[in-house]
Amino acid sequence: MGFKWINKNIPKIGARDLARGCKAFSDDIHNRDALVLKVLRSNRPHARILDVAVAVALKTPGVVGILTCKDVPGKNRHGLINKDQPLLSEDRVRFVGESVALVAAEDEKAAQTAIGAIRVTYEDLPPIFDPKKALEDGAPFIHHKGNLLFRRTLRKGDVTQAFARCHVVLKRSYSTPPLEHSYLEPDAGLGYVDQDGTLVIYASTQNPHYDQKEVCEILGLEDDEVRVVQAATGGGFGSKLDLTVQGFIGVALYHFRRPVRLVFSREEAFLATTKRHPLKIEMETGAMRDGRVVAVRARVVCDTGAYASYGVAVVTRAAVHVTGPYQVDNVEVESLGVYTNNPVAGAMRGFGTPQMAFASESQMDILAHELGMDPLEIRKINALRPGGTTATGQELSESVGFLKTLNAIEPHYRRARAQWKGNELPGCYKKGIGLGAMMYGIGNTGVQNPSNGRVEMDEKGKITLFTGAADIGQGASTVLAQIVAEVLDVDPHKIRVVAADTRWTASAGATSASRQTYISGNAVKEAAQKVLDVLLCEAADVLKAPRTDLVLKDGYVMGPGDSFGKVSLKELAKKAHRKGRSLSWQGYFDPETTLLNLDTGQGDPYATYAFGCQLALVEVDELTGDVCVSEIVAAHDVGKAIHPQNVEGQIEGGVAMGLGFALMEKYIPGATHTMGEYHIPTCLDMPRVTTIIIEDPEPTGPFGAKGVGEPALLPTVPAILNAITDALGERIYDLPANPERVREIGIRSLKSKD
């Protein structure tokens, strides 16, 4: 099927304004009368609050007010899944950086002075920083219900019997650290009270409709009393799914009825925003002599920190993706989310799946070594195919492009084996080649996951797309406009896009879980199709031709032959409006999923899955521990690439993030305060990236599309770690593979040669 606007690299909508600096990011939005807000944060990991003394601070010149938990008019709780986190602490604090009081002042200096003048009296409580110790009998409770947030079990087949007949069974333990999201733009926002009394909040966010709901509950207001607008957002990667500044701005507006502004410093963002969940993974894998993996058993402990945030989702997705993109008939998983006094762990690109991919793909390489098999071949043998079943027992019928990604990688892999690996470097330098593969469920796990979209055409034929989907740089607005343009056969750049404003748009759900192209894409496609149906009805009347015979082309509707003539969409829109026929239509889509069984974890948690494989070529200096990733070849099944260049950009961005996760990133509570102490890749660290887009269309997707935002990251870490193992002959089980860890192995290798 040929497309006019699908699979085309059109200029991204809004790119010109971004390049010219015309887009207002949240920190760019000012009001001359705005009060400056500052948050007093706890310096204790676990303590009872005995008193918050604000009298002296209130006397600071320029201070308008200081708010504590007693000033929250509604429910002093928020949370994406579990409402367990107070906006302002009540009886205790549970991590360093928790919010205790909110200062509103006329200027920055007055606000900061007042923060320093507030005196909090604490009674220290025993802190727990190790999630395994938090589960021990007698461990002090962080929350009154205990330290276990959530337990997800998954059982398929009979693992014990399967292990008994395996030729090889290997058991290994892996760990991953907490990570900072490191988006370029720290959290910020501005609020004011509109002329009709509505509280208006502009913020850097990934889900304005969620923000609106949470702020309304905190303030005890109705939805129409709070409006949230997404400002241009300089990255999110999951952290901006949680409330950051929005709740503080809302409660300040409620009390002071003046414009207010809150901007986190980089240090505050490091201290108080969510981190990637650190995981401890024990994995046991059994295979037959021919390489078939027949059993996997795993125990996963997720440190969710002081509050739940997305912990339940991470725990569940980690369990569901335990086997990766492979057919395994016997699976047993226990995945635990545990409270500690560490910083809150939340959503970060992949929801626990990158951590699991590191473990499961390491296991595949170890199995290949134990069985004397080629790492690519063992993946081919076990690859999920149409008709295969996942760890949750879901049968995959179509759009299972994993084997296609392996086949696409193969010539690059074979060439590297023959040429690159064979050309060894002198001295202390070693070369290595590694593979990493992935599967990722698109959308939220086993729950309703809907999106809405609206398309309007005015009497002059001008089209407006209304979508609640937050574009955080990934190009959602462009892709959704392309989908509408394809249905209505118009130039996407002639479509006005109104996005992520709770006054004008219905909820499209979160920009997370790689869901917007698939789910919101279907919603806006349906809306556009409804508009087209009205236009075609009008055209049938004008052209006196059967509607089924009409053709849409270049802004006109044409009859089946020259004798029928043609009529423009503009003229049809005018006629429809004159007759009172609506050209404003809502579209809706909610993928078909089922709840996972609470005991067995069996069910259909996602309507579709993305697949991929990456090849990493590395050079390792055994003496210094430096690892240079020379090249990544990335093949990803995206269903259909609506905007191929956008897909390539997502893959390259995923590789960059995976590079940091693999080699250098680690957030250390109490020690990591700024970007100077937290290492992320720069352009100088980036390898050459070769992208291969595989299109195995998803029948339920908009024009066959699925998604690639999070899948792009997942294979990078295991590919690099497997390549390091190939170079050094020894494996690293704890991320990151930083120079200290690599050098330790390299020095042992050098000594063994002496």
User: Does residue 234 contact residue 473 with C-beta atoms inside 8 Å?
Assistant: yes
Residue 218, helix vs strand vs coil: helix
The domains found in the chain, sorted by start residue, are: 26-125+187-263 (3.90.1170.50), 275-445+597-753 (3.30.365.10), 450-589 (3.30.365.10)
Query: What values do phi and psi take at 30, rounded to 5?
Result: -125, 160
Q: What is the pLDDT of residues 73-92, one digit of tens each?
A: 999 999 999 999 999 999 99
pLDDT tens, residue by residue, 578-611: 999 999 999 999 999 999 999 999 999 999 999 9
Compute the distance between CA of residue 641 and CA of residue 202 in angstroms, rounded to an integer.
32
Cis preceding-peptide flag for 736 (omega within 30 of 0): yes
- The C-alpha atoms of residue 437 and residue 406 are separated, in whole angstroms, by 9
Residues 377-395 pLDDT 10s: 999 999 999 999 999 999 9
Q: Give the largest CA-CA distance in the chain.
A: 91
Per-residue pLDDT at 2 exceeds 90: no
Task: Judge whether residue 305 has pLDDT over 90.
Answer: yes
- Contact (CB, 8 A) for 577 and 409: no
Q: Is the pLDDT of residue 531 over 90?
A: yes
pLDDT at 1 over 70: no
Residue 424: per-residue pLDDT = 74
pLDDT confidence bin for 754, thresholds 50/70/90: low
Note the pLDDT of residue 560. Answer: 84
Q: Quote the distance between the C-alpha of residue 418 and its chain's center.
A: 37
pLDDT of amino acid 562: 73
Structure tokens at 680: 């992320």
Q: For residue range 36-57, what is the model confidence (pLDDT) as tens digits?
A: 999 999 999 999 999 999 999 9
Percentage of the chain lying above the pLDDT 70 cut: 99
Strand partners, 611: 439, 637
pLDDT(431) > 80: yes
pLDDT tops 80 at residue 563 = no
Render pLDDT for 107-130 as a digit per residue (tens, 0 to 9): 999 999 999 999 999 999 999 999
| 3-state secondary structure at position 359 | helix
Q: Residue 423: pLDDT above 80? A: no
Question: Between 353-371 and 716-728, two packed helices, what is the crossing angle to 10 degrees?
Answer: 30
Give yes or no for residue 575 having a pLDDT over 80.
yes
Do strands 627-637 and 451-457 pair parallel, antiparallel, or not at all (unpaired)?
unpaired
**What pLDDT score was predicted for residue 597?**
97
Q: Is the pLDDT of residue 279 over 80?
A: yes
Contacts of 673 (CB under 8 A, 6+ apart): 267, 270, 271
Q: Which amino acid, residue 629?
A: V
Per-residue pLDDT at 739: 97
Average pLDDT, the chain: 96
pLDDT of residue 753 exceeding 80, the answer is: no
